[in-house]
Amino acid sequence: MGKLNVTVLRYLTREDFRVLTAIEMGMKNHELVPGPLAAAIANLKTGGVHKLLKELCKHKLLSYERGKKYDGYRLTNTGYDYLALKSLTLRGSVSSFGNQIGIGKESNIYVVADEEGTPICLKLHRLGRTCFRNVKSKRDYHGRRHKASWLYLSRISATREFAYMSALYDRGFPVPRPIDFNRHCVLMELVNGWPMTQVHELLDVPQVYDDLMNLIVRLGNSGVIHGDFNEFNLMLTDDGKPILIDFPQMMSTAHENAQFFFDRDVTCVREMFRRKFGYESEDYPKFSDLVREDDLDAEVHCTGYGFTKEMEQDLLQEYGMIDEVENAEEETNDEPPTLVPAEIDECRRQLENEVSYSESKPTQQKSDDAIRRYIESCTQ
């Protein structure tokens, strides 16, 4: 965890916001977005895109990079954080920012507050950045394949987490209440409890053991496996009730690797109880005991999150849950993207969608300042 570059974001004008969003749209198909493509997508009436791009680089929301064959702009972490936090702020889900409270394997966790001032939890998904693993490629507008980017992976990770958390919460599972999500950010209830990693004593060890095993079985009977059921992803309330967190890697019990991950989750609990509490029991669930009672796994795929099988593949691969699929063709960045009218039209349409909501709101100087102060003060 390094210190965040201290950035001096001034208030972003609607043109800045448009240009920043144009780079995001361009990055759906290219690792780097060359200036002319950015200009075509942003479609500013006044022109002057290049000056704005330079300014956004100065404020570290964008960076200008040299690719193997062509140069272009990309969003930085800060730029992506900014876009997501701006959306969440505009729709009133967040109104102030607090401190970082946790760092996970693939995320940073912060306390923020909603409009009533209630503390809530913000999880920023950060995938595929530190080590650029060989992610399954996907086709772009040109019919070429390129590596799935951190932007794409972090976004589908957050989407998948929100989808699972919602389906679980609706069924009364002990999980945080999901509040909202945008891009790579998830907002959820702040759990009032202790991370299991910090718990070294329990009033009723066998009871908590049973609660956890019953939770694994109840998930299984609903058609899902958590897949990372360990003390880092379990919290305990003051009255000793477990709460499960961290869902992007969950999978269906119908998945070909399901039994492996079910057994691994069960073994994790047994190991943890042996190690921490000297407790061993011959009583533990088997995959073959599961009785399908619900289709939570299917629901996550049909509830309008736009989640495809291909996305699931890419993500589970990134989480190391499934083997990497051989890349049919290598990543590109060999030729500068040409200006394909269909691509530009599609990007412009998405851009208008993004900015029209923000432009329909009164000037948001106050909330932009809050986001700026937050980004300045936090570490990532």
Q: Which residues are known to be catalytic?
A: 228
Site for Mg ion contains 232 (CB under 5 A): yes
Query: What's the burial of 19, exposed, middle or buried (CB within 10 Å: 0-12/13-18/19+)?
Result: buried
Binding site for ligand ADP (CB under 6 A): 102, 104-107, 109, 121, 123, 176, 188-191, 195, 232-233, 245-246
HSE-up of residue 151 (Cα within 13 Å, Cβ side): 21
Judged by CB under 5 A, the stretch of 52-60, 224-232, 279-287, 296-304 that binds Mg ion is 224-232
Strand order in the sheet with 185-189: 96-103, 107-113, 119-125, 185-189, 178-182
Judged by CB under 5 A, the stretch of 20-28, 217-225, 246-254, 257-265 that binds Mg ion is 246-254
Judged by CB under 5 A, the stretch of 50-58, 82-90, 214-222, 225-233 that binds Mg ion is 225-233
Cβ nearer to ligand ADP, comparing 103 with 298: 103
Query: At closest approach, how far in Å is the CB of 235 from ligand ADP?
Result: 7
How many CB atoms within 10 Å of residue 218? 18
Cβ nearer to ligand ADP, comparing 109 with 216: 109
CA distance 205 to 199: 11
Cβ nearer to ligand ADP, comparing 157 with 332: 157
What, of Mg ion, ligand ADP, none, does residue 107 touch, CB below 5 to 8 Å by kind?
A: ligand ADP
Cβ nearer to Mg ion, comparing 21 with 233: 233
CA distance 316 to 37: 32
Query: At closest approach, how far in Å is the CB of 104 from ligand ADP?
Result: 2
Query: At closest approach, how far in Å is the CB of 110 from ligand ADP?
Result: 9
CA distance 209 to 270: 8
Single-letter amino acid code for the residue at 299: E
What, of ligand ADP, Mg ion, none, does residue 109 touch, CB below 5 to 8 Å by kind?
A: ligand ADP
Cβ nearer to Mg ion, comparing 67 with 195: 195
What, of ligand ADP, Mg ion, none, does residue 196 touch, CB below 5 to 8 Å by kind?
A: none
Query: At closest approach, how far in Å is the CB of 347 from ligand ADP?
Result: 30
Tokens 């709460």 found at: 243
CA distance 280 to 255: 30
**String of contacts with Mg ion for each residue 97-116, x by CB under 5 A:** -------x------------
Cβ nearer to ligand ADP, comparing 67 with 242: 242
Closest CA to 213 of 154, 162, 156, 285: 285
What, of Mg ion, ligand ADP, none, does residue 121 touch, CB below 5 to 8 Å by kind?
A: ligand ADP
Query: At closest approach, how far in Å is the CB of 65 from Mg ion?
Result: 31
Structural contact between residues 165 and 178, judged by C-beta atoms closer than 8 angstroms? yes
> Collapsing DSSP states into helix, strand and coil, what is residue 315?
helix
CA distance 196 to 194: 6
Query: At closest approach, how far in Å is the CB of 157 from Mg ion?
Result: 12
Structural contact between residues 18 and 25, judged by C-beta atoms closer than 8 angstroms? no
**CA 81-53-375 angle, 5° bins:** 25
Residue 300 dihedral angles phi and psi, to the nearest 5°: -60, -30
What, of ligand ADP, Mg ion, none, does residue 168 touch, CB below 5 to 8 Å by kind?
A: none
What, of Mg ion, ligand ADP, none, does residue 242 touch, CB below 5 to 8 Å by kind?
A: none
Structural contact between residues 154 and 126, judged by C-beta atoms closer than 8 angstroms? yes
Cβ nearer to ligand ADP, comparing 39 with 190: 190
What, of Mg ion, ligand ADP, none, does residue 102 touch, CB below 5 to 8 Å by kind?
A: ligand ADP
What dihedral angle (degrees, nearest 10) is formed by the CA atoms of 208, 171, 93, 123? Answer: 40
Query: At closest approach, how far in Å is the CB of 267 from ligand ADP?
Result: 19
Site for Mg ion contains 299 (CB under 5 A): no
- Number of residues that make up the chain: 380
What dihedral angle (degrees, nearest 10) is formed by the CA atoms of 158, 162, 163, 167? Answer: 160
Write out the residues near Mg ion by the rule CB under 5 A.
Answer: 104, 232-233, 246
